[in-house]
């Protein structure tokens, strides 16, 4: 009885601090507490990008080839292996120049063979390789990393804002189509602005392995590059930072388009990412999305990535929250 008494006393002591305003109510779900026991054996696993993951969570592209990156990437790979999650590398552009930073990216030995692991290059680099008739170097990169394929990031606004940014000579779609025709497995993503319905439709019609939303509302790389600018005067105004599409808007468009396209919807695996502020919001979007999906985050993992135990607790917390959500929450 002593423990019970102590706990009740603690409840009394904490009651004032535990007050919560009704404005904080999560209105995305109906809470149904009477139909389930506490979840012990809820199976969150699914097939995604041709492999089985233990939970519908994705570690999105972040960093590589810069100082701390090796520890960060290795910690991310360790928790991905432990919890059975898929992950993608940050831009592998340094590996096109030399193998000096290879160990920053060499995560397959940590991750194991059975989980999704994807390399990453930008449109500008691919455009250069195609122009030089060196697309075989992409295959060599994928083979060297023992990756499952290539994530292509489409980032015209970031490149424009970047002081040393690259310029696209062709529409990104032409470059993507060339890589797909070369039978390189491809996932396409933006980098924080999302994409509009015309772009989504065209990408769903291509035989891509997947599409990552990287929507507006999280890390904005256009703003990031603008913040890096040293010039006192600039012709590049802030206006273009604020264009784009939210994850909810993109999920709604995907649902409409996959219904409209039917069998012509060839790309059917979606990474929902960008502005995923918490686990339940990601779960809500995931439940709304009509195509097979996982929820991707980058900064959420990066915030904990230098401390393995902290990162492990963060991932475990997401998974346990998802199990409770599956048991007790229903979409409104």
d(CA 208, CA 313): 34
d(CA 92, CA 106): 11
List all residues 6 or more positions away from 128 whose beta carbon is below 8 Å from its beta carbon: none
pLDDT for 314: 98
Residue 161 has pLDDT above 70, yes or no: yes
Would you call 141 exposed, middle or buried from its count of C-beta atoms within 10 A (0-12, 13-18, 19+)? buried
Burial state string for 50-77 with b = 16 or more CB within 10 A and e = fewer than 16 = eeebbbbbbbbbbbbbeeebbebbbbbb
Is 10 part of a structural domain of the chain?
A: no
Mean per-residue pLDDT over the chain, rounded:
90
Q: How does residue 1 score in pLDDT terms, banded at 50, 70 and 90?
A: very low
Is 38 part of a structural domain of the chain?
A: no
pLDDT for 225: 62
Is 119 part of a structural domain of the chain?
A: yes
CATH at residue 210: 3.20.20.70
Nearest to 277 by CA among 237, 222, 318: 318
Residue 235 has pLDDT above 60, yes or no: no
Q: Residue 87: what are its φ and ψ, rounded to 5°?
A: -155, 160
Is 28 part of a structural domain of the chain?
A: no
Residue 108 has pLDDT above 60, yes or no: yes
pLDDT for 66: 58
| Structural domain for 71, as ranges | 45-227+243-331
Distances (CA, A) of 62 to 127, 219, 240, 306, 322: 22, 11, 23, 13, 24
Is 31 part of a structural domain of the chain?
A: no
Q: Has this prediction a pTM greater than 0.95?
A: no
Is 20 part of a structural domain of the chain?
A: no
Contact, 289 vs 255, CB < 8 A?
A: yes
pLDDT tens-place string over residues 163-220: 777 889 999 999 999 999 999 999 999 999 999 999 999 999 999 999 999 999 877 6
Is 34 part of a structural domain of the chain?
A: no
d(CA 250, CA 188): 14
> What is the per-residue DSSP string for 149-191?
-EEEE--HHHHHHSTT----SS-HHHHHHHHHHTT--EEEE-S
pLDDT for 78: 98
Question: Per mean pLDDT, which range of 17-26, 137-146, 263-272, 323-332 is the poorest?
Answer: 17-26
Element (H, E) at 54: none
Q: Measured on CA atoms in the order 81, 83, 86, 87, is the torsion positive or negative? A: negative
Q: How does residue 329 score in pLDDT terms, banded at 50, 70 and 90?
A: very high
Residue 233 has pLDDT above 60, yes or no: no
d(CA 219, CA 298): 9
The dihedral formed by the CA atoms of 203, 205, 210 and 216, expressed in degrees to the nearest 10: 30
Is 258 part of a structural domain of the chain?
A: yes
| Tokens describing residue 35 | 């139909």
Task: Give the number of domains in the chain.
Answer: 1
């Amino acid at each position: 009885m002593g423990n019970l008494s102590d706990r009740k006393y603690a409840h009394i002591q904490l009651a004032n601090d535990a007050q919560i305003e009704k404005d904080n109510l999560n209105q995305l779900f109906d809470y149904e507490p009477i139909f389930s026991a506490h979840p012990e054996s809820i199976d969150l696993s699914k097939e995604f990008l041709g492999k089985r993951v233990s939970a519908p969570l994705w570690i999105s592209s972040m960093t590589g080839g810069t100082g701390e990156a090796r520890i960060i990437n290795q910690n991310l790979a360790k928790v991905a292996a432990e919890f059975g999650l898929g992950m993608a590398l940050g831009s592998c552009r340094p590996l096109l120049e030399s193998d000096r930073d290879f160990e920053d990216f060499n995560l397959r030995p940590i991750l194991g063979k059975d989980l999704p692991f994807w390399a990453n290059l930008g449109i500008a680099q691919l455009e250069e390789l195609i122009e030089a008739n060196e697309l075989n170097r992409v295959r060599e990169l994928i083979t060297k990393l023992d990756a499952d394929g290539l994530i292509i990031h489409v980032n015209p606004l970031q490149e424009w804002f970047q002081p040393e940014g690259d310029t696209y000579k062709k529409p990104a779609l032409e470059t993507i189509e060339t890589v797909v025709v070369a039978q390189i497995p491809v996932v396409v993503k933006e980098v924080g602005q999302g994409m509009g319905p015309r772009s989504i439709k065209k990408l769903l019609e291509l035989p891509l392995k997947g599409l990552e939303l990287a929507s507006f509302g999280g890390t904005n790389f256009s703003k990031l590059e603008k913040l890096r600018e040293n010039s006192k005067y600039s012709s590049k105004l802030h206006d273009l930072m604020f264009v784009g599409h939210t994850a909810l808007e993109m999920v709604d468009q995907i649902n409409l388009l996959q219904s409209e396209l039917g069998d012509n919807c060839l790309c059917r695996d979606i990474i929902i990412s960008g502005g995923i502020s918490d686990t339940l919001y990601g779960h809500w979007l995931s439940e709304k999305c009509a195509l097979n999906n996982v929820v991707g985050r980058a900064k959420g993992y990066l915030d904990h990535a230098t401390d393995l135990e902290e990162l492990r607790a963060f991932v475990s917390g997401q998974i346990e929250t998802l199990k409770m959500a599956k048991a007790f929450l229903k979409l409104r």
